[in-house]
Chain A
Amino acid sequence: MSTTTADTVFERPAQRSWLPTVAIWVVLLTVPLWLPWIGGYTALAGRVLVLGLAAMALNFLLGFTGVMSFGHAAYFGLGCYGTGLTLKYLSDSTPLAMLVGILLGGIAGTVFGALIVRRRGVYFAMVTIAFGQICYYVAYRWNSLTGGDDGLRGFQRQPLHIGNWIIDIQNNPVLFYYFIAAVFAVCIGLMAFLLRSPFGRTLLAIRENERRARFLGIPVERHIWLSFSISCFFTAAAGSLYALLNNFADPMTLHFTLSGEIVIMAVMGGMRAFWGPLVGAAVFVVLQDYISSMTVNWMSFIGLLFVLVVLFFPRGLLGFVRAYSEK
């Protein structure tokens, strides 16, 4: 009996058709063609991808390892500040700035993670919030370096130089969108690869039954720590892109309210589905964009939607669609 459960849990990704993946990529790559026709703009699509990446990175931990972090904005924000500070003070190389941002957020996540992983459940979530808020207050109070509450201004993403080619992501929003899409593709490709590896399967085993995994001799803490660290590196990558998207970094990117929003995106989209968080992020960002122009109470609508999703589609929007199509 237990084998059947394990089979369904483990084998589903392999059995999945490649069709949805292709469909998602076709939609993502043609965005600049159709988005203006339905009243969108390219920067909005960029936001969807960036927050989608953050939500998918969180879901690596939440959906595939089974532990809840409420402090992921910290690593997103550190990625953001790392990139912004590098562009402002050190170098005008976009790739170098991104590397610094990713390393800053990722290494902070790895260090904090080592201290957090021995806790479980609500304690784990609370400690992640605490570490996140430490980062927020450092950025908030360190006026001379980070600009404090005013945010970090005075940097711009720079064109990419590849050999003799110059890709002007600075002034061409469509090129910059494709740059985000390329980074997004690399990140989620790596995540998908990791999830299909024996390491990823071990994470699923921990999610399904931690005690059994421990009895099988799996070093559970070390695996959760690694998963936390990997998740933070990808979240920092999203933060780094966010700094480039806005040419701006502000302390609210480190605040736990953003952590909560990332969790909402992941849960709303469907945390057991690989693409679920991207769908959640798209719904969240687009709704926020439209409704916030109409009413200042836009958050109530997101809240209402979230409640409805949790009540009626506990597997999230994508989880519901998939369950329905398999019926």
Chain B
Amino acid sequence: MDSRIIAGIGRRSLIKAGVALGALPLAAPAIIEARGETPVKIGMIDPLTGVYSAFAQSEVQGAQYAVASLNKSGGILGRQIELLVEDSANDVGTGVQKARKLIDRDQVNAIFGDVNSAIAYALSQVTNEKKVLQIVPGGHTDPITGKDCKWNVFRICNTTTMDATAISGTLLEKFGKRWFFITPDYAYGHTLQAAFVKNLKAAGGEYEGDMLPLSTSDFSATLIKARAYKPQVLLNNMGGQAQINCMKQFIQFGMNKEMALGGALFELESILSVPPEARSGWWDMEWWWDQPGVPHVAEFVAGIKAATNKPASARHWFGFVAIHTVKIAAEKAKSLDAIKMAHALEDEVLPPEVALQPGKIAYRAGDHELMANIFTGEVHPAKGSNPASVFTTAKLVPGEKAAGPVADTGCHMTFPSA
């Protein structure tokens, strides 16, 4: 008798059975036991990989920070909050697929996303089709709360028009009317450059520029073109890692001695990743951590520092506000129904511990855009002992002023009949 056969079962069968048993948990997720109270599920889709990964991580950390603190104090409607994070890989198709998964399989009560404007824009179509509340923490392109606005979509970050309008006057005044654009070739870049050009033309200025793929890493051809054009200011509209690479090459070429830098967004995460010589120019911040005398800000900054060991950025604030927005909506509507929550949010003023800035900050009913202040000012190498002191606010531009009236956005808000 073959000694390897035990009780009629061969060694191979035994191994196979073992492997099959081991693989079982892979095939099906463990069935969740029935609980007295199911959590409020929030799906967050952000590009955790790709050029925007640093921003995406900050947004997720901001949201996780808010979830952790709210869950200690009763969550939303007395239920715990569960945050389901999905990577969109900075790819529109993947983002759309993840949204369908979160809605169809996980049955989330709200969707957040995405840093990438094009993905945020595409998600708004899916969430609208499925009637799920969507908060766009940090995707800036205009149509999301403009001509393609939807009843279920609310946005925290500014529109590209708001960002361009807030800084255009400063750039014209400080540097002059001859501009060169380096702009990413997708939704965000298209609307941002159009807004800048509109302001520049109104002032009688002239410009040239290049539209490049968002994942561009070599900018030498464009920088040579910019040098030949001799602009007074170079507007680097690229985002994330692309903007960082562009800045580094700008310094290597010695172009910082020939022209000024400026533009809409040069975010804290990016400033901290470029050499000190590139930390210059006049820019917008959509939220800034250094606001002496404004209540609750220091507490938030310390909380983020403790949780992540990083300085609090606008992206942290976006994620934080997004979670609180769902709480505010659900508790005012006393329901998690998307239509009721959307109605509840309209013109609802954020409490100071969420707004974390002066003034009355609310989601405008006409286009569902958060009318937050825009901090315009100068980026510089770190001052004093705090390495995050790289920006000095010169002016606070109120959101309504930068956005202009709802009629100009092209948004016609319509709700479905309930």
Contact = CB atoms under 8 A, between A and B. Distances in A.
Contacts of A148: 185-186
Contacts of A150: 92, 117-118, 121-122, 186-187
B398 to A, nearest CB: 30
B213 interface: yes
A232 to B, nearest CB: 21
A229 B302 CA distance: 63
SS of A interface (majority): helix
Contacts of A153: 121-122, 125
Interface string B24-62: 001111000000000000000000110000000000000
B129 interface: yes
Contact of B129 (A149, A156, A253): A156
Nearest to B188: A150
A243 B26 CA distance: 29
A41 B49 contact: no
B125 A248 contact: yes
A292 B87 contact: yes
B173 interface: no
B86 A292 contact: yes
B87 A41 contact: no
B190 A43 contact: no
B97 interface: yes
B198 interface: no
Contacts of B118: 149-151
A149 B104 contact: no
Contact of B125 (A43, A154, A289): A154
B99 to A, nearest CB: 10
A104 B185 CA distance: 26
B121 A43 contact: no
Interface of A: 38-44, 47, 140-141, 143, 148-151, 153-154, 156, 173, 246-248, 250, 252-253, 289-290, 292-293, 296
Top 3 A-B residue pairs of the complex, sorted by shortest distance between their CB atoms: A150-B118, A149-B186, A41-B104
Given A248-B125, A252-B91, 11 more contacts: A39-B28, A43-B101, A149-B92, A149-B186, A149-B214, A151-B92, A153-B121, A153-B125, A248-B126, A289-B101, A296-B87
28 contacts: A38-B28, A39-B29, A40-B105, A41-B105, A42-B104, A43-B101, A43-B104, A140-B213, A143-B185, A148-B186, A149-B185, A149-B186, A150-B117, A150-B118, A150-B121, A150-B122, A151-B118, A153-B121, A156-B129, A246-B100, A248-B92, A248-B96, A248-B125, A250-B96, A252-B91, A252-B92, A289-B101, A296-B48
